[in-house]
Amino acid sequence: MKKIVEQDVVSVMEFFSDLEDPRSPVNRLHLLGDIIVICICAIVSGADGPQAIGVWAASKQDWLKKVLQLPHGIPSHDTIGRVLATLKPSAFQACFEKWTARFQSSADSLAGPATPQIAIDGKALRRSHDQLHGLGPLFLVSAWSVNCGMSLGQLAIEEKSNEITAIPKLLENLDVQGAIVTIDAAGCQKNIAKQIVDQGGDYVLALKGNQETIHQAVQHYVAEQTLNGFSLAAGRHHTVSQEAHGRRERYEYHQFAVPAQLKDREKWAQLKTIGVVVRVSEQQGKVTCETRYFLSSLSLGVKQFAQAVRGHWAIENTLHWCLDVTFREDESRLRNRIAGENVAWLKRFAIGISKQHHSKESVAMRRRKAGWNEDFLMQLLGISLG
């Protein structure tokens, strides 16, 4: 059972004490700390943007007046929207680091000596495009702690840019010392592998055709080993079978020490192993087979490799799925890029803290309960009013 780290509202607001208020001091009526706490509570309770946050706050004003200062009452949704549209996203996220670290340290102590894993992946907010200003959907690259189920950071990709330029910037703000960093094929880049190693971490990178030379070399090498029954290479093998919802799946994990003759091996920092995952799926008599390849700085240890591959799916199956289904993020119509990024971060934070609670309900049900019951909301946030 996970233990909720208790604190009070004042201690929560202290996390944001160094956050610069972007508003003009002229006619500034509402405290920045009050607005931020309202935004956090409202997003956890089911709000999805500034207008909904304002409606939630107005409906909870009697309770909010007990826990916040609110010198001029409840801020309007326009005020909330202006604040979210001017807060610097990187500074805003930085204020959450100490808060999430308290949850993370609690989860790590319960998890034991498992190696930390950070999964990095990108996601588009599909309906956030702004045709009037020629902007496509907002695209965010997120870092997810697999061990404790918390968002560690995110970065919006600039228009006409891509994940290759965003991931290094995101990594700069992450502590990857002693961790395994997993990234899909878009992030399988030599400079990214080197940066992870230089920051003290290990990498497991999905390998596809965007790295044509080494991809073909790995495919050729694995094909040779398959023909020889894996008898001629230093390797490890592990198979996992499962059955659910009428579908049978078998995962075959193969890991090999990088052969000396592998082309371009010297261009990848601390490249030690190559990995292969073969997924065989059978459903209603139809059999499909998929093979995926990986580059890694990990030493031979196929179960650790298999865990890293499975763990990476958590950012898709846990974070992105929950954002789409529970938080309906793809329906976001926020046109302001800064507000969109800040609200997206609040949603990722809300998922993380919701998952820390010991109850058996889904994240969706916990969110509903938080909207219905202020005591449960405080429990999710780890806040004690007593």
Q: Which domain holds residue 73?
A: 9-93+336-381
Sign (positive or negative) of CA dihedral 187, 189, 191, 196? positive
Q: Does 109 fall in a domain?
A: no
Residue 70 has pLDDT above 90, yes or no: yes
Identify which of 386, 385, 382, 383 has the alpha carbon closest to the alpha carbon of residue 150: 382
Which residues, 6 or more positions from 283, have their beta carbon under 8 angstroms from its beta carbon?
A: 246, 247, 248
Q: Are both 123 and 270 inside the same structural domain?
A: yes
With b meaning 16 or more CB within 10 Å and e meaning fewer, what string describes 170-203? bbeebebeebbbbbbbbbbbbebbbbbbeeebbb
**How would you label 120-144 residue by residue, b for 16+ Cβ within 10 Å and e otherwise?**
bbbbebeebbbeeeeeebbbbbbbb
Per-residue pLDDT, averaged over 23-52, amounts to: 93
Number of separate domains in the chain: 2
In a domain, 331, yes or no: no
| Tokens 């046109």, located at residue | 335
> Is residue 119 within 8 Å of residue 180, measured between CB atoms?
no
Tokens found for residue 17: 């004490």
The residues pairing with 141 across neighbouring beta strands, listed in sequence order, are 122, 155
Q: 312-342: per-residue pLDDT in tens?
A: 988 888 888 898 888 888 777 777 889 989 9
Q: Give the residue-averaged pLDDT of 209-216.
A: 93
List pLDDT tens digits, range 170-198: 999 899 999 999 999 989 999 999 999 99
Q: Are residues 279 and 305 in the same domain?
A: yes
Q: Is there a single domain that holds both residue 66 and residue 127?
A: no
> Is the domain of 257 the same as that of 166?
yes
50 part of a folded domain: yes
Kindly state whether residue 244 falls inside one of the protein's structural domains.
Answer: yes
Answer yes or no: is 311 within a domain: yes
Same domain, 212 and 181: yes
pLDDT band at 225 (very low <50, low <70, confident <90, very high): confident
Task: Output the CA torsion sign for 259, 264, 269, 273.
Answer: negative
